[in-house]
Structure 1
Amino acid sequence: MHEKLRRQSDQETIAVLLPHGEHTLCYDLVGAETGQVVAFTHSLAADLGLWAEQVPALVAAGYRVLRVDLRGHGGSRGPAGPYTIDALADDLIAVADATGIERFHFVGLSIGGAVGQSLGLRHPRRVQSLMLCDTQSQSFPDAATHWGGRIDKLRQTGSVESIADDTMKRWLTPEFQAAHPHRWQQIRSTVACCTVDGYIGCAQALADFSYTDRLDQVAVPVLVACGSEDPRATPEESRRIAALFRDGRYEEFTGARHVPNVEQPEAFNRVLTDWLQQVQ
């Protein structure tokens, strides 16, 4: 049974809760029912609101937009992890099944990009195209220390608030913060309010996955994109990932850090809509 959770008056969308095993998944769906569906998965510690800049442009272009909160993020809830990238991808498929969506274009950022790779490999009949932003194709070599330190800090403090400022420094430039203080604070508050279990479960998923050697099996067109100033998902790494796909392309957002869809929404939306027109 679906349960209505909240209304976002700016886009007149209704967030919905979907029971799924031991989890409850939160999603929203907006746009003409006849439009092609574009599904979004956000980064670690964010929620579906990270795509607020993309919804109006896509709806105006005739698309239907599906946004889903990761486990333990936003309105989604469930038991503690560890989770896996494949399980997070299956969550999106569960929402698509519940809403009667057979095929969709997919856009994922960071861990969302890893989810997209799982979809392309494991659910090829459901995915029409992939746009993978500021992401990785396997766990970083320093995954144990990188994520282990954060996990220890969250367990000690009991709150993601303790790493919110460091997260925002990686995500957005000081120039964006100065020009858009309200949006910057909105995103920071979302990070701080992420559940500890949700963050740790997804961090553990990022610390233990690898799709690199199988990406040439993905048959759908793939666009890999990133901000030129992303400190972890670098342009060099993103170009390498794009080259692993049969039909992989690369796009860069000069001057942006980890969330170019927020920092440079006009440029991002132009790239996204051009991409969708090419692959529809």
Structure 2
Amino acid sequence: MLLPLSDRTLCYDLVGPESGEVVAFSHSLAADLGLWAEQVPPLLAAGYRVLRVDLRGHGGSRAASGPYTIDALADDMILVADAVGIERFHFVGLSIGGAIGQSLALRHRRRVMSLMLCDTQSESFRDAANHWGKRIERLEQTGTVDTIADETMGRWLTQSYRGSNPLRWDQIRATVAGCTVAGYVGCAQALADFNYTSQLNSVNIPVLVACGSDDPRATPEESRRIAALFPNGRYEEFVGARHVPNVEQASAFNRVLGEWLKQVRTTR
């Protein structure tokens, strides 16, 4: 489904019973809402309603002119929720999606019931200008994200996963390669310029921070630090996974997510 706006179009998918509590998902840079395919069936079976949204210039969403901010990307989620009549939701975000979740909890507090922040950061990397600047320059020179698709996949998933799941690997790689340069660059610029660290102690909703133990950037040490910033924060680790544990260890991820949502519902 599409939400046309003046300078962009947001693509989203909404499935499940209208009476169910909503779980909203935001994917990583260069992915799309299909990255959460493994999570949808068990959530529907448990009676939840699932909302997935493509970032600007990703998947079926049309890019607006950049640069973007994390707050603006979070507001896109609110615009979609408003358009489909969703008042409150649980939120699950991966990588840049986790940063978006922090913005939502800080700026749209009454809308978010709980957060699951996966393989993310609470502020820009110290070497953000160099890290993202080189990648942006490369994409602008080549005109395609396919240039970095293989190295991206290497950071996201292990070779063991590739060997046992070649079709899913190819699906995800094709999604990375198909991301628009404008969407990638705009979101990368947002990642290069944000900092929520000092504000997270004001977020009182339940927060689960999780990561793959082998994530090269969102490390277990960093993820534990972020979890400790929240008054009601908790940490979970997926041993042996890299940056996309919801795909690489889908069964374990779904178990943790399901138990987390049950816990949140019983303590409200």
Normalised by the length of structure 1, the TM-score is: 0.94
1:21: which partner in 2? 6
1:96 aligns with 2:66: no
SS in 2 for 1:58: helix
Counterpart of 2:179 in structure 1 is 194
1:150 to 135, 140, 145: 135
Q: Which residue of 2 is the match for residue 35 of structure 1?
A: 20
| Deviation for aligned residue 1:79 | 2.4
Which of 55, 62, 67 pairs up with 1:77?
62
**Equivalent residue number for residue 199 of structure 2:** 214
Q: Cα RMSD between the aligned structures? A: 0.5
Whether 2:218 is the aligned partner of 1:236: answer no
- Measure the CA separation in 1 of the matches of 2:193 and 2:6: 23
Q: Where does 1:110-125 land on structure 2 (aligned, <5 Å)?
A: 110-125=95-110
CA distance in 1, matches of 2:264, 2:75: 23
In 2, distance between residues paired with 1:50 and 1:238?
21
Q: Quick one: percent identity of the two aligned structures? A: 76
CA contact 1:53–1:265 (8 Å) conserved in 2 = yes
Tell me the CA shift for residue 54 of structure 1.
0.2
User: What letter corresponds to residue 95 of structure 1 in structure 2?
Assistant: V
Q: 1:45 aligns with which of 21, 24, 30?
A: 30
CA drift at 1:102:
0.3
1:278 counterpart residue number: 263
Distance apart, 1:130 and its partner CA: 0.2
4+ residue segments displaced more than 3 Å: none
Q: What's the counterpart of residue 124 of structure 2?
A: 139
Could you tell me which runs of 5 or more consecutive residues in structure 2 were left unpaired when the two chains were aligned: none
**Alpha-carbon shift at residue 20 of structure 1 (Å):** 2.5
Shift of 1:61: 0.5
Q: 2:46 corresponds to which residue?
A: 61
1:181 corresponding residue in structure 2:
166
How far 1:22 moved relative to its partner?
A: 1.1
CA distance in 1 between partners of 2:101 and 2:238 (Å) = 20
1:203 aligns with 2:188: yes
Which of 230, 234, 254 lines up with 1:245 in the alignment? Answer: 230
Instruction: Determine helix, strand or coil for the equivalent of 1:25.
Output: strand
Give the TM-score normalised by the residue count of structure 2: 0.98
For 1:85, the aligned partner's letter is: I
Deviations 1:159-193 (A, max 9, x none): 00000000000000000000000000100000000
Question: For 2:64 and 2:49, how far apart are their aligned partners in 1?
Answer: 31
Name the residue aligned to 1:169.
154
1 CA distance for matches of 2:165 and 2:39? 17
SS across alignment from 2:121 = coil
1:155 Cα deviation from its structure 2 partner: 0.4
Uncovered stretches (5+) of structure 1, i.e. residues with no partner: 1-15
- Using the TM superposition, give the Cα deviation of residue 248 of structure 1 relative to its aligned residue in structure 2, in angstroms: 0.2
Q: How far does residue 80 in structure 1 lie from its aligned partner after superposition?
A: 2.5
SS at match of 1:125: helix
The answer to whether the 8 A contact 1:20-1:94 is kept is: no
Tell me the CA shift for residue 60 of structure 1: 0.3
* Residues 27 and 67 in structure 1, CA contact (< 8 A), matched pair in contact too: yes
Q: What code does the residue aligned with 1:110 have?
A: S
Distance 2:125 2:256 in 1: 28
Deviations 1:28-76 (A, max 9, x none): 0001111000000000000000000000010000000000000000000
Equivalent-residue separation in structure 2 for 1:203 and 1:122 (angstroms): 21
In structure 2, how many angstroms separate the alpha carbons of the residues matched to 1:68 and 1:25? 7
User: 2:129 & 2:258 partners in 1: Cα distance?
Assistant: 37
Deviation at 1:23, TM superposition (A): 1.2
Deviations 1:238-273 (A, max 9, x none): 000000001000000000000000000000000000
Total equivalences in the alignment = 265
CA apart distance, 1:78? 2.8
Q: Secondary structure at the match of 2:109?
A: coil
